[in-house]
């Protein structure tokens, strides 16, 4: 029954990110469909935790459904943490965080300082709006990207965070690369850059802002930040229709970039540049990020 229901909603099984529109367009009863989808996901064992999170975030973000399904969602996979340590522990328990270094650094930067008051629980594993049609990404996505990039975020290395938004991940990068390294955030909405500086000033990476090993800039991230290139690690926090060539150029030989690529259906692409400068890429998982675009397009976007 659950499988036929999935077919009825015309959800392409390989693209669970489309579930939100499936629910809202064809559901005879949104609650029933959401319930069935949750059960179907359990039965189908979606490919990855990121996948499941992606689907459930979309179901959860359908306002009329929130009250009805939030209890079931908690039961299904995420426990509502009461603080930052609880959030990190739950990411460890569900296998998103696999290394102590990533857990420790995520514990040091309190996500609660980066989520605006009144927009939701910062310790719940879901994206949260930060204004200007942008979101602070979900903790499991930050954790997954940190796991992918951790070897390229060693003390003394250089990291570039495109679409730095709230400044949360740039602050984490800064703690990892330390005083001798350099963490650079680029955000194209100047108001968000200003707010991100305020956020970072309140967190455990504030001293790195003062010592200039952490900086947050307003600019078009599609051009990278050539002044401080090349970078050992590049993270892009918004989905690009195609990989910007400037970012490949600014990746150091031996470096790694993690970038969501696509439009409605997106892949988190990992790009490795070897010591000879040859580039190889592979898809990590399917994701759903806001687009890497220009300011006007972003602000015009329907809420």
In whole angstroms, how close is the CB of 8 to ligand SAH at the nearest point?
A: 33
| Residue 137 designated active-site | yes
Does position 290 bind ligand SAH by CB under 6 A?
A: yes
With CB under 6 A as the contact rule, which of the stretches 85-93, 218-226, 249-257, 277-285 interacts with ligand SAH? 218-226
Torsion on CA atoms 197, 198, 200, 201, rounded to nearest 10: 110
Rounded CA gap, 167 and 218, in Å? 12
Options 50, 90, 137, 166, the catalytic residue: 137
Q: Which of 122, 165, 224, 260 binds ligand SAH (CB under 6 A)?
A: 165
CA distances from 261 to 39, 53, 192, 244, 292 (A): 29, 18, 23, 10, 9
Map residues 244-283 to x or -, x wherever contact with ligand SAH holds by CB under 6 A.
----------------------------------------
Q: Is 6 exposed, middle or buried (0-12, 13-18, 19+ CB in 10 A)?
A: buried
Q: Which of 16, 22, 181, 237 binds ligand SAH (CB under 6 A)?
A: 237
- Identity of the residue, 274 or 294, whose beta carbon is nearer to ligand SAH in the bound complex: 294
Q: Which of 105, 136, 175, 268 binds ligand SAH (CB under 6 A)?
A: 136
Residue 147 C-beta-side C-alpha neighbours within 13 Å: 16
Q: Which residues bind to ligand SAH, rule: CB under 6 A?
A: 134-137, 162-166, 168-169, 186-189, 192, 220-222, 237-238, 290, 292-293, 298
């Amino acid at each position: 029954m659950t499988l036929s229901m999935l077919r009825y909603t015309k959800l392409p099984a390989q693209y669970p990110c489309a579930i939100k529109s499936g629910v809202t367009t064809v559901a005879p009863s949104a609650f029933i469909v959401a319930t069935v989808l949750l059960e179907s996901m359990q039965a189908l064992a979606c490919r990855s935790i990121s996948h499941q999170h992606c689907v459930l975030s979309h179901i959860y973000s359908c306002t009329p459904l929130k009250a009805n399904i939030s209890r079931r969602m908690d039961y299904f996979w995420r426990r509502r943490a009461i603080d930052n340590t609880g959030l990190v522990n739950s990411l460890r328990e569900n296998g998103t965080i696999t290394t102590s270094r990533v857990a420790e650094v995520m514990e040091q930067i309190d996500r609660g300082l980066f989520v605006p008051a009144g927009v939701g629980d910062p310790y719940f594993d879901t994206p949260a709006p930060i204004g200007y049609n942008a979101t602070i990404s979900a903790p499991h996505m930050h954790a997954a990207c940190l796991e992918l990039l951790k070897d390229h975020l060693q003390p003394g290395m250089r990291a570039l965070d495109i679409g730095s938004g709230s400044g949360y991940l740039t602050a984490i990068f800064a703690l990892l690369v330390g005083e001798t390294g350099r963490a650079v955030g680029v955000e194209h909405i100047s108001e968000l850059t200003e707010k991100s500086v305020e956020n970072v000033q309140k967190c455990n990476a504030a001293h790195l802002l003062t010592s200039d090993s952490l900086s947050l800039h307003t600019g078009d991230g599609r051009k990278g930040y050539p002044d401080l290139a090349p970078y050992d690690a590049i993270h892009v926090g918004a989905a690009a229709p195609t990989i910007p060539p400037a970012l490949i150029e600014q990746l150091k030989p031996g470096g790694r970039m993690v970038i969501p690529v696509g439009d409605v259906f997106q892949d988190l692409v990992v790009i490795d540049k070897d010591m000879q400068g040859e580039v190889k890429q592979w898809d990590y998982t399917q994701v759903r990020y806001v687009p890497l675009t220009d300011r006007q397009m972003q602000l015009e976007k329907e809420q």
